[in-house]
């Protein structure tokens, strides 16, 4: 990397930025899920993997944390349901921590990129044991890009997200992931 590249990176991290403080973000999204769960819903732990039962899900996410100049850091929680679940019912939640980098925090249109490390749980009722929900869980990562638009004292952002993770069961892992579109409101 030559001197111009180093100077560009330095300006990116040292330019004007908004003041530090507490931030709360609430967002809603729709996510298309792909991948597998480690066993057949309602089957034994050693049954063959099957497609995720929640191929389309909708959720609400809350991020709470600190804004330090161009950076936001904090814990997050997300809860959602799958309206097209292939089983009697599906829900999921994610808990973890994330960070966002804002490229132009003082501008009326502030593009940003965010990452999060989360623990995800997928729960469902298979009909085999009607009163007992089954679960799949494991680590996931989430990458998001958005643009904060200032409106009436809050920031509204359209958001595109990508998630990838693994569900664990009896020493077996299966991959899953998704792509999402959402809208966030930051106070």
The CATH number given to whatever domain includes residue 175 is: 2.40.160.20
Question: What is the tally of structural domains in the chain?
Answer: 1
Tell me which H or E stretch contains 124.
strand 109-125
What are 39-80's pLDDT values in tens digits? Answer: 666 666 566 777 888 889 999 999 999 999 999 999 999 999
What are 90-147's pLDDT values in tens digits? Answer: 899 999 999 999 999 999 999 999 999 999 998 887 766 666 677 888 999 999 999 9
Contact between 48 and 86 under an 8 Å Cβ cutoff? The reply is no
- Domain containing 163 equals 3-186
Q: Could you tell me the sign of the dihedral formed by the alpha carbons of 48, 168, 36, 53, in that order?
A: positive
CA pair distance 118, 99, nearest whole angstrom: 12
- Give the global pTM: 0.82
CA pair distance 187, 37, nearest whole angstrom: 37
Distances (CA, A) of 170 to 46, 167, 173: 8, 10, 9
- Terminal CA-CA length for the chain: 39
């Amino acid at each position: 990397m030559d001197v111009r590249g180093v100077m560009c990176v330095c300006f990116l991290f040292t330019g004007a930025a908004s003041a530090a403080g507490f931030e709360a973000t609430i967002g809603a999204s729709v996510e298309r899920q792909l991948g597998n769960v480690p066993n057949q819903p309602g089957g034994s732990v050693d049954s063959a993997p099957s497609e995720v039962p929640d191929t389309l899900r909708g959720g609400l996410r809350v991020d709470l944390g600190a804004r330090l100049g161009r950076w936001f850091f904090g814990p997050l929680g997300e809860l959602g349901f799958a309206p097209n679940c292939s089983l009697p019912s599906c829900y999921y939640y994610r808990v973890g921590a994330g960070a966002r980098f804002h490229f132009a925090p003082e501008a009326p249109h502030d593009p940003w990129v965010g990452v999060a490390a989360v623990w995800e749980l997928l729960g469902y009722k298979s009909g085999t044991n009607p009163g007992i929900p089954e679960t799949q869980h494991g680590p996931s990562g989430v990458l998001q890009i958005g643009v904060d638009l200032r409106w009436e004292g809050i920031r509204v952002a359209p958001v595109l997200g990508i998630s990838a993770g693994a569900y664990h069961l009896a020493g077996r892992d299966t991959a899953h992931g998704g792509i999402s579109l959402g809208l966030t409101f930051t106070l």
